[in-house]
Amino acid sequence: MRDDLEERVIKEARYVIETGATVRTTAKEFHVGKSTVHKDMTERLKSLDSELYKQVKKVLKTNLLERHLRGGEATKQKYLKQKNR
């Protein structure tokens, strides 16, 4: 793997662990696509650093379990904003 690619994957992983960020948020932060971040975290990271991979996997699992809550909150805010206009 290229050095710059490896470096990005490690930086993304540390960002996810430190902030609990979602794949979408991480993609915006690093100016790459969601698919790229997902591949980085689920495939590339595993071969680079298995310990980081395990930590990221826990965060991603938590994010997956909480996804419906974030979506519900976003919908609530959307309609509150429309109501206040």
Structural tokens at position 47: 């071969």
- Has residue 26 got a pLDDT over 90? yes
Expressed as residue numbers, the domain containing 28 is 3-83
pTM, two decimals, is 0.78
Across 34-61, average pLDDT:
94
- Looking at the 3D structure of the chain, how many domains does it have? 1
* Mean pLDDT for the chain overall: 90
d(CA 23, CA 41): 9
Helix, strand, coil proportions of the chain in percent (round to 5)? 85, 0, 15
